[in-house]
Copies of this chain bind each other. A is one copy, B any other.
C-alpha cells in the first residue's frame, strides 16, 4: 500500500504555559507524515522556502518520509504564531504569514498519482478537485479541515466532504459543520452526508468514530504534562492512516485500532514542543504505550 499526505510544512512560533519556542519546524503535513512513519513510508506534498533548514529535511528523510513531493521555492516558509491558554484546548492565532504557501497549488509527482490513500490535510476545499484530477486511480480519500474553511468556504467544504471516504474533525468543527450541538447527533449527521468514516478528535477526551452500523469511542492516553498540543490532531490523522496503509484493510477492526494508534501517537506529540516527541519516539515506545493503554481501559 502507499499513503500520500498533502498539507503544510511550516515554521511555528508557539507559546504555551510550559514555555515559548520561536520558528520551530511544524506544519500539518510534517506532523501527519512523521506520525504515519511509525507504520509506513508516507509521501509528502508541500512547499517550503529557501529558509527551511536542510538538516530538518535530512532528519525527516531519516525517519522514512518520502519527500519527492516537497518543493523548495524562492521565498520564505509559511509561519504560524499561536498562544495556548492553560486549558490547552483553547488557542489563539497571533500571526499567520502565508509566504510561499500563498499561491501554492499542489502538484503530485508521477508515482504519487497511484497512491492507495490520499490525505488532504486542511487544504483549501476549492483546491481538492485540482488535486484529485491528477490521480491515475481512485484512492481512499481522507481529509481534515480547519475552522477557517468552515467559516469562509462552507459550500466548497460540504462538497469536498461528500467526496471523501474518511473525514477527520475535532469536536468543535464537527458541531459547526453539522450545525448540531450534540456530538453524537452531529457525528451521525456528517456520516450521513457521504463519508464512510467520521473521526471526531476530542483532544484530552479521546476520539469518536462513526462508521456503517457502528460507533467506536475511545479515551485519550492520559498525559500528566501537556507541553505543546500543536500538531496533535495532524499526528492523530497521520498515524490513523499510516496504520490503515500498513494493514491494507479498512474494516471495522482496523478502523478501531487505527483510532487507538491515532490517540497514542498524538499523546507522544503533546509531551514535548513541536516535533520533538515524534522525532525521538521509537516503534518500541509505541508498542509499550499500546500495552499500557490496554491496561488503562480494560474491564
Contacts and interface: CB of A to CB of B under 8 A. Distances in A.
Contacts of A206: 205, 219
Contacts of A256: 298-299
A125 B184 CA distance: 38
Interface stretch (A64-72, A94-102, A223-231): A223-231
Contacts of A219: 206, 217-219
A174 to B, nearest CB: 13
Contacts of A86: 181
B181 A217 contact: no
A182 B225 contact: yes
Contact of A185 (B188, B205, B224): B224
Nearest to A223: B184
A257 interface: yes
A75 interface: no
A224 B299 contact: no
Q: Which of A188, A224, A253 has the most CB of B within 10 A?
A: A224
Contacts of A297: 216-218, 297
Contacts of A226: 182
Interface in A192-232: 202, 204-206, 208, 214-220, 222-226
Interface string A105-120: 0000000000000000
A206 B87 CA distance: 19
A29 B289 CA distance: 40
A222 B217 contact: yes
A296 interface: yes
Given A86-B181, A181-B86, A205-B205, A296 B216 contact: yes
Interface string A178-190: 0001111100100
A260 interface: yes
A256 B298 CA distance: 8
Interface of A: 86-87, 181-185, 188, 202, 204-206, 208, 214-220, 222-226, 253, 256-257, 259-260, 295-299
27 contacts: A87-B181, A182-B223, A182-B224, A182-B226, A184-B223, A184-B224, A185-B224, A188-B224, A202-B205, A205-B205, A205-B206, A208-B222, A214-B295, A215-B296, A216-B296, A217-B219, A217-B220, A217-B222, A217-B296, A217-B297, A218-B219, A218-B297, A219-B219, A256-B299, A257-B299, A259-B299, A297-B297
